[in-house]
Structure formats: C-alpha cells, structure tokens
Amino acid sequence: MLKVNKLSVKINNKLILDNISFDLNENDIFVIIGPNGSGKTTIVKSIMNDIKYTGSIKLKDKNIKTMCISDISKYIGVLMQNHTLEFDNTVFDIVSLGRYTYSKSMFANLDNEDKEKIKEAMELTDITHLKNSSIKNISGGELQRVFLALVLAQDPNILILDEPTNHLDLKHQIDIFNILKKWSLKEGKAIISIIHDLNLAYKFSTNALLIKEGITVACGKMDEVLTKENLKNTYDIDVFEWMKLVLNNWK
Amino acid sequence: MLKRPKSYKIMFVISLIIYFIICVMSISIGSVRIPFDEVVKVILNKWFGIGDISNISQTTITIIISIRLPRVIMATIVGSSLSLAGAVMQGLLKNPLADGSSLGVASGASIGATIAIATGITLPILSEFSIIITSIVFAFISLFLVLYVVRKIDRSMSTNTVILAGVIFSMFASSISNLLLSVFSNDTKKIVFWTLGSLASSNMSKVLLILPIFLICVFYILYKIPELNVFQVGEDAAKYLGVNTKKAKICLFMAASALVGMSVAMTGNIGFVGLIIPAIVRMVVKTNYKYILPFSIITGASFLCITDLISRTVITPSELPIGTVTSLFGAVIFVCILYNFKKRRDV
Amino acid sequence: MKKKIYLILAIVIITLSIVLAGIYFVNKNKISESNPLVLIDTAGKEVKLTKYPEKIISLIPAATENIYDLGAGEKLIAVDTYSNYPSATIELTKLETASSLNIESIINLNPDIVFMSKMGQTVEQYENLTNSGIKIVMVDASSIEETYTIINLIGKVIGKENEAKEIINEMKTEFENIKNSVKDEKSKTIYYEVSPLEFGLWTSGNKTFENEIMEILNIKNIFKDVDGWAQVSEEQVLVKDPQYIITTTANYGDFDAVEEIISRENWKNVNAIKASNVYSINPDTMSRPTKRLVEGAKQLKNVIYGE
C-alpha cells in the first residue's frame, strides 16, 4: 500500500533521515521504534508531504508529492502526539472533525454516513458516554481516546499513530491495541505506529523499523528486528536483560 | 446550557426578533421622538410601496429615511463585521483575546483612512470608496505585519506574544493617526470622535458602498465554517485532516481584516465589540462555528444598535463617542455573563 | 444545503446588492418632484428646480459664454443684445435689456430659467418677471473668485456640475502658471484706458477684473487707488507717467485707437509713448466673468512681457 524508498531529510545541513526504506502492506501493523530524536516523527511528516525530502514515497503506486493534502487525508489519517485545545469544545464536536475531508454540504453539516462513522469510532474507543462533555473536563487518557476516535472517524486506509497509548492506563492501552489490531485486519487497512513501549510493540505488531539517529538499524518482520543485538546497539543498554530482570519481579 | 440543535434554531429566531425590535426602537428614539407605528408605516411605504403616509410630516419622513435608517443599517453592518472578524481571528489564532482592535488591525486601518482623507486622493465620483479601499489595504498590511513579527519572535505564536505585539502596534498606529489628524486638522473634537468611533455621519451612500464588500466577506467566511472548526485542534492536525491551512488562513485573515478595515473607514475605531461578542456567544452556544458565527453576527448587530442608541440619548442632543459606550457596557455585560456561567458550571 | 446552492445564492445576493448600489448612485443626482434641487443665487434668492432646464434665456453675456463653455449652448432660446461670443450666438433671438427689457416677450418664449445680472435691471422688473412665474437666477461676479462661484452656480442649475468643476480647476491652474511665469519679471506701470479722451478718460481701477489680472501679472495699475471703473484726468496720467498704455477702445473705419493715443499732443513725453509701448486689446476677455479671463491675462502678459 505504501512504499517508502530511500527517504532522506536534511534540515540545516544536518541529516535527519538517511536512506530510509520500507514497505507497508495490507493488514500490517508496522511499528517504528527508536530512541528519542531518531527521526521517527520526521518520517510521518514526510509521508504527509509536510516536509522536503529526497527519495520517493508511493501511496498505492502514486507518488505522494503529486497529491494534495485533501487527497492524502482520504487515505491516511494521523494521530499526533500533542494536542493543543483552547476552547470549550464538546467531545462530539472534536470527533466529528474527522469527517472534514468528506464534507459535502455546507456549514459542516453531517450526513447519515458521517454520523454512523462517528458513532462507531466513539464506541470503539469507549467514549460514547462522554459525547456531550467539554474536552476541558476530561482526563488526559480520555482526551487521547477522543483524538483516536477522531482519526478513526476519518476512516482512512492507513492509520499513522504517534504514541497512541500516551497517558493511557494499562487496561486502556491493551484495549486500544486490541481495537487497532482488529481494525488493521479489515480489508484495505494498515497501521503505522511510533511507539516506545517495546512490550506492546512485540505483542501487537507485524513488522518493525528500528531506527537510530536517522539510520535504519533493522527493518522487516517483528522477530527479525527485535533481537537482542539490534536493541543493544540502538538503545545502548541490553534491553533483553533489563526486560528479563523486570519480569522476575512479577514472579 | 442548551445542547440540542433544535433549540438553537428557536434561539436564533428569538435573537432576530429582538434585533428587529431594537432597530425600530433605534429609529424612533432620538433627539426627536417618533412613534413606533409611524416608523413602521414609513418604511413599509418607502421600501415596499404599501400603505399611505400622507398624514406624516415630510420632516419626519426625512429623519427616518435619510438619517436614522442609514444609521441603524450601518450599526448592523459594522457590529456584525467586527464580531465576525473577532470570531474568525480567535479561531485561527486559538486566542480568546484576538480581535480587530487587539491585533492592531483597526488602528492600522485608521492610518489608511486618515491618509486618504488628509491627502484628498479621490476618484471623482466616489471619494468615499477610496477611503474604504485604503483602509482595507492598510488593515491587511497591519495584520500580516504583526503576525509576521510575532512568528519571528516566537515560533509557537503563543497567546501572550500575539496580544502584546498587537497592543504595541495598536498604540503605535493610533499615535501616527492622531499625529496626521492634528497636522491636517486642528479640530480636537474631530480627532476624539475618530479615535473612539462615531456613527454620526452615516448615510445611504456609505451603506450601499460597503454592503457588497460586507456580503462578500460574510458569505466567504460562512463558506469556510468547516475549516474554522478544524482549526480548533491546531494547525498541524488541521493539515493532516485535509485542510489547505496556508490558503485557508490567508484568505480568512484577509476577509476578517477587510471587514475591520471597512468598518474603520465608515465609523472610526470602535473597540471591544470583536472581543466580547464572540466570547459571550461562545459561553451561551456550543463551540461549533456553525452556531458561533450566525449568533455573533446577529448579536454584534444588536449590540452596536443598542449602544448607538444609548450614545445618542444619554447626553442628548450631544453624542457620546460610541467606543466609550461599547467599552462600558461591554465590560459590564461580559463580567455578568462570566459570573453566571462560572456559577452554573461549578454547580 | 449543498455547496452549489450556497454559491449560487451568495452570487445572486451579492450581485443584487451591487445592482442596488448602482441604481441608487445613478438616481442620486437626478432631481425630481420628490428630490428638488434648491440653490441660492448671487442675489441671495432661493431657486428651486424639479428638473433641469431645457429652455434657457440669458440676459447677460457672461452667462451666455459660460453656458456654451459648459456644453449646454443648444438649450439657449434667446440672449441679450450684448451676447456676442461665441459665434453661434449670432443665430439666436436677441432681446433688449436694461430699461428696454420687454417682459411680455420673455414670458412668450416660456423659458425654464432666465439668467440675469443686477447691472441695469431694476428690482421692479425682477419682481414683475418672477410674479409671472418666470424662474430667475441672478449671476453677478466682480472678481475671479466670484467668477468661480457663478460658473459653479450655472453648472449646478443646468446639470453640468462636473464640467463646471473642471473649468474652474483649469482656470485656477492656468492663473497659477501665469503668475509663476512672471514672478521674476521686473514690475511695469500701466495705464489701462477703457474710454478715450473725447468721452472722458475712463480706466479700470481697483476691484475690477482688469486690475485683478494686472495684479496676477505683477503689473502696477497707476490708478489702483481708484475704485471700479472711474473717470480720470489727463493730468493724473501725465504725472503718473506709465511705462505702458493699454487701450480697449475698438477700432472702426479709419479710426485706430493706438494711433490716436500716440498723437495726443500733451502726451508726447509720456514714457509709454516715447518707448512705443501703446497697445490695443480685446476688452471682452478682460472684463467678463468667464474662462476667457485666462486668455485676457495671457494677452496682456504677452503685450507687457513679450512672448
């Protein structure tokens, strides 16, 4: 579905990304893992045509550079890390923004399909009971689910998530990823997710890209990428050993 | 707080009725008191050809048609424009303190208007039009200048920085305007009225000149309601949701500053309106621009009509500058509503 | 609401508002029963019009000239006997003025408006005319500034206000230019004769158009201390010894006004005559409140200062 080939990004003469390549296939959950500042968010920006890059990114064999944002947003939805909200919007209002790219009538009126999608998205993320609450009155975790619902309402083919389980308690983290897994198995869907929690990554993803300082450490199936060696090189600590140590405490 | 959309329709109809009542009141009350029924009869006759007004004096008819009616229409247009522009700027900048005055747009437009009046650059027939054009041009320049400078200083364009820059530019611009005015005219009263705004010189020609501009801007802004809604989650998220943010921002800012520029050209700088009306509307109505904008328009119009009526009658036959009245009343009303609102929220 | 419908609605409403504005501005300047034009003439009397005049009578040459200048000459149905410019006036019906004013013939012609001057007309004649329903506009001017006033007034009455403004602006510019072009010239003294010796010497003194033009041209009128058109004596001229003499007396037959002055016995030693600076000019361009005052000024300038 998405083919990234030799993606490089240079900002102020500093190479942020160097020759990144990967493929996203239908029903993949593709995670991008790496230390802070390794260029993960920059990959997202490049896919969304929000930054200058060299190399090619093809969406269903069409070059992304030739597409305008309103077309791209019909295929790809992005859930970002930070959310800035100023005014007292209701949850329903925020989720309904996901339907913007499909708007056919004036004044942001929602047709039946829009309302269906919004309802589904809110059910999936368990926020239907918050429908009329003000977003200033809900917790950080609930807000995160609201924005997830927003991007689900957008009903894209590819979901790009930047730290989707930030602020969420363990139950909701697992619930969300279960939902995402189910969603990704639908026809024509795939997910790219930037994630820090390696356990979640291990459990739910199909493919991975391990990246350090803009350079690919490993890319491919989950098992091949998340090896003891790779992780040690990337994170400068022996992740395997750490995990095993922590696991002992739970015994 | 009312949540169902159906009740908004009723609320809007009630607002419209209130607005019309205010209009009739504004036309009938003034230094000369005209009975309500005469006002209605004259308007019906002159505009729709219905009814007979042979028993009403020519003076009364002239006062209604040539003086009070244009004034009320002007108040409507200016009140709506300033409120609408304020709502748009607040949405785009995600800044509840943004409006035509606080960002320096109105003061910048004043410079343009002053220059046009002082240098007497005119097209032979429509000298008024050239004042409007220069005001709008200077409004554009001011807004883009202020936002550009803020962006350079503070990449994130935080609320405080934007307002600070706007206020400083505002003071700077009004000093230049006043300087120009005092050089070209020694009439201090005129300067005061220009600084604080006045609807006194309204006439039908001016109204008809700005009506098309007003309508174009309003129709455009209403067309962009979906975009304005999406901007609520931030510019970056808006981009990923499919909005061409650069184009939307530029066009909407242009429409908003055109509204402000046009208002300043007609009535001078009337402050506070663009700030409090959207704020009041937001408190009462949902934060979907689908509701905020129409209510801002009608509330802004009603507000300016009432304040104009007050400014005309309090020290009759003299007039208070309308900027004074809007600030006084605006501040009081705002605090009351804020208090009420907080009280209900905490319950 | 579908987007297309909204756009169509928007375009329709906006176009309507522009059309409305257009109609308003076009009709604003139309005068009618309900929107009459009310003006004050130079005698302070109110003139009220409900339509622009189609049939105009001018009893004063200045008004005649101005009406032609403003492009409404074809609306004139009759003029006074002194109206001689432009040449088209030859074709027009001529009416006697002053004491020979025939009120009945004016009434018979049924004019929409009559332009008159105080000169020679009596209050009685004015009242007789107005009582018979004739609309009169008094247009008197004795200075360049007042000339602008009557051009403006006439322009407003006949619906040529913009043309009037143009003429006035042109005149102002021309006078400025003329004034600037001679400001470095050395001032000359001049005796301006409007009536020759045999009828008693008359000159244009202060508060006349001629004098005003002379001041613009930086020329010293030796009789500036006299007001209006006044009779002066030979001795005064000889004592003041002007450098230039201008005469407006017309030449006819064998009579040449310039030669006549040069031949005056007592005047042999006058500066102007010794230097052969005696010239004749057309008085019409120097004494009528019209745009030809500019021509007159240029004429006088050429005579005094050369090209």
A109 close contact with C: CB closer than 8 A: yes
Mean pLDDT of chain A: 86
Residue B123 has pLDDT above 60, yes or no: no
- The CATH classification number of B5-346 equals 1.10.3470.10
Cα separation, C303 vs C220, whole angstroms: 14
A104 close contact with C: CB closer than 8 A: yes
Q: Are C279 and C262 in contact (CB under 8 A)?
A: no
Q: With CB atoms and an 8 Å threshold, state whether B226 touches A108.
A: yes
pLDDT tens column, C125-169: 888 888 888 889 999 888 889 999 999 999 999 988 888 988 998
Residue B255 has pLDDT above 90, yes or no: yes
Cα of C1 to nearest chain B Cα, Å: 11
* Partner residue opposite C21 with nearest CB, options B124, B208, B219: B208
DSSP class of B56: S
Mean pLDDT of chain B: 84
pLDDT tens column, B128-139: 788 888 899 999
* Partner residue opposite C6 with nearest CB, options B205, B212, B223: B223
- Return the partners of chain A (3 or more C-beta pairs < 8 Å): B, C
| Residue B40 or residue B105, greater confidence | B105
Residues in chain A whose Cβ is within 8 Å of chain B: 48, 50, 68-70, 72-74, 76-78, 80, 83-90, 93-94, 97-98, 100-101, 103, 106-109, 132, 147, 150, 154
Assign B16 a pLDDT band (cuts: 50, 70, 90): very high
Residues 6+ apart with CB under 8 A from C177: none
Cα separation, A128 vs B107, whole angstroms: 47
- With beta carbons under 8 A apart, name residues in chain C contacting B205: 24-25, 28
DSSP class of B32: S
A70 close contact with C: CB closer than 8 A: no
Q: Are B163 and B102 in contact (CB under 8 A)?
A: yes
Residue B191 has pLDDT above 70, yes or no: no
Assign A13 a pLDDT band (cuts: 50, 70, 90): confident
Residue B141 has pLDDT above 90, yes or no: yes
Cα separation, B282 vs A162, whole angstroms: 32
pLDDT of residue B115: 81
pLDDT tens column, A133-150: 888 888 888 888 899 899
pLDDT of residue B194: 61
Average pLDDT over residues B19-47: 82
Cα separation, B324 vs B303, whole angstroms: 13
For A94, name the nearest residue in chain B, comparing CA atoms only: B233
Residue A36 has pLDDT above 90, yes or no: no
pLDDT of residue B190: 58
Q: With CB atoms and an 8 Å threshold, state whether B124 touches C18.
A: no
Picking from B53-67, B315-329, C216-230, which range would have the lowest pLDDT averaged per residue? Answer: B53-67
- With beta carbons under 8 A apart, name residues in chain B contacting C18: 212
| Residue C297: exposure state from Cβ atoms within 10 A (0-12, 13-18, ≥19) | buried
Cα of B51 to nearest chain A Cα, Å: 39
- Return the partners of chain B (3 or more C-beta pairs < 8 Å): A, C
0.80 cut: is pTM over it?
no
CA nearest to B232, candidates A88, A78, A127? A88
pLDDT of residue B21: 92
Domain segments of chain A as ranges: 2-249
Cα separation, C293 vs A12, whole angstroms: 75
pLDDT of residue C64: 92
How many Å from the N-terminal Cα to the C-terminal Cα in chain A? 42
Number of other residues whose CB lies within 10 A of the CB of residue C238: 14
Q: Is B327 helix (H, G, I), strand (E, B) or coil?
A: helix
A107 close contact with C: CB closer than 8 A: yes
Cα separation, C81 vs C94, whole angstroms: 5
- The helix (H) or strand (E) run that includes residue C37 is strand C37-40
Mean pLDDT is highest, among B71-75, B120-124, B148-152, C254-258, for: B71-75
- Which stretches does DSSP call E strand in chain B? none
Cα of C8 to nearest chain A Cα, Å: 13
- With beta carbons under 8 A apart, name residues in chain C contacting B215: 10, 13-14, 17
CA nearest to B70, candidates B170, B268, B210? B210
- With beta carbons under 8 A apart, name residues in chain C contacting A109: 1
pLDDT of residue B272: 85
Cα of A112 to nearest chain C Cα, Å: 14
Residue B185 has pLDDT above 70, yes or no: no
Q: Are C58 and C177 in contact (CB under 8 A)?
A: no
CA dihedral A96, A100, A105, A106 (to 10 degrees): 90
| Residue C211 or residue B187, greater confidence | C211
pLDDT of residue B2: 46
Q: What is the DSSP pairing of strand A207-212 with strand A215-221?
A: antiparallel
- With beta carbons under 8 A apart, name residues in chain B contacting A154: 241
- With beta carbons under 8 A apart, name residues in chain B contacting A103: 226
| Residue B261 or residue A238, greater confidence | B261
Residue B126 has pLDDT above 80, yes or no: no
Q: Are C272 and C220 in contact (CB under 8 A)?
A: no
Residues 6+ apart with CB under 8 A from B201: none
Residue A232 has pLDDT above 60, yes or no: yes
CA nearest to A95, candidates B237, B84, B271? B237
C35 close contact with B: CB closer than 8 A: no
CA nearest to B110, candidates B81, B91, B131? B131
3-state secondary structure A185-212: CCCCCEEEEECCCHHHHHHHCCEEEEEE
pLDDT tens column, B199-235: 777 888 889 989 999 999 999 999 999 999 999 888 8
- With beta carbons under 8 A apart, name residues in chain C contacting B124: 162
**φ/ψ (deg, to 5) at A207:** -125, 165
Per the CATH hierarchy, to which homologous superfamily does domain A2-249 belong?
P-loop containing nucleotide triphosphate hydrolases (3.40.50.300)
B289 close contact with A: CB closer than 8 A: yes
Q: Is C275 helix (H, G, I), strand (E, B) or coil?
A: coil
Q: Are C192 and C204 in contact (CB under 8 A)?
A: yes
pLDDT of residue B4: 55
- With beta carbons under 8 A apart, name residues in chain C contacting B206: none
* Partner residue opposite B212 with nearest CB, options C7, C14, C28: C14
CA nearest to B177, candidates B197, B191, B198, B193? B191
Residues of chain B with pLDDT > 90, as a percent, come to 33
Average pLDDT over residues A184-190: 87
**φ/ψ (deg, to 5) at B148:** -65, -50
C17 close contact with B: CB closer than 8 A: yes
The pLDDT profile of chain C, 307 residues, written as one tens digit per residue, is 788 889 999 999 999 999 988 888 887 777 777 677 888 888 888 888 888 899 999 999 999 999 999 998 899 999 988 888 888 888 888 888 877 888 888 888 889 999 998 876 788 888 888 888 888 999 988 888 999 999 999 999 998 888 898 899 889 989 888 888 888 888 888 888 887 777 778 888 888 888 888 888 888 888 888 888 888 888 888 888 888 888 888 877 778 888 888 888 888 888 888 888 888 888 888 888 999 999 988 988 888 887 6
In angstroms, the Cα distances linking C272 to A185, C135, C184, C268 are 117, 50, 22, 9
Residue B127 has pLDDT above 70, yes or no: no
pLDDT of residue B130: 81
- Which of A100, A104, A105, A111 to substitute to test the interface with C, most C CBs within 10 Å? A105
**Assigned token pair, A216:** 């690919």
Residue A105 has pLDDT above 50, yes or no: yes
- Which of B123, B126, B215, B262 to substitute to test the interface with C, most C CBs within 10 Å? B215
Residue A226 has pLDDT above 90, yes or no: no
Name residue A209's beta-bridge partners: A32, A219
Cα separation, B47 vs B64, whole angstroms: 12
| Burial per residue of C108-127, b for 16 or more beta-carbon CB atoms within 10 angstroms, e otherwise | eeebbbbbbbeeebeeebbe
For C165, name the nearest residue in chain B, comparing CA atoms only: B124
pLDDT of residue B347: 46
- With beta carbons under 8 A apart, name residues in chain C contacting A107: 1
Domain segments of chain B as ranges: 5-346
Q: Locate tokens 């000459």: which residue?
A: C73
pLDDT of residue C307: 62
- The helix (H) or strand (E) run that includes residue A1 is none
Q: Which domains does chain C have, with CATH numbers?
A: 37-170 (3.40.50.1980), 177-305 (3.40.50.1980)
Mean pLDDT of chain C: 86
Number of B–C residue contacts, CB under 8 Å: 32
In angstroms, the Cα distances linking A152 to A69, A161, B71 are 18, 11, 51
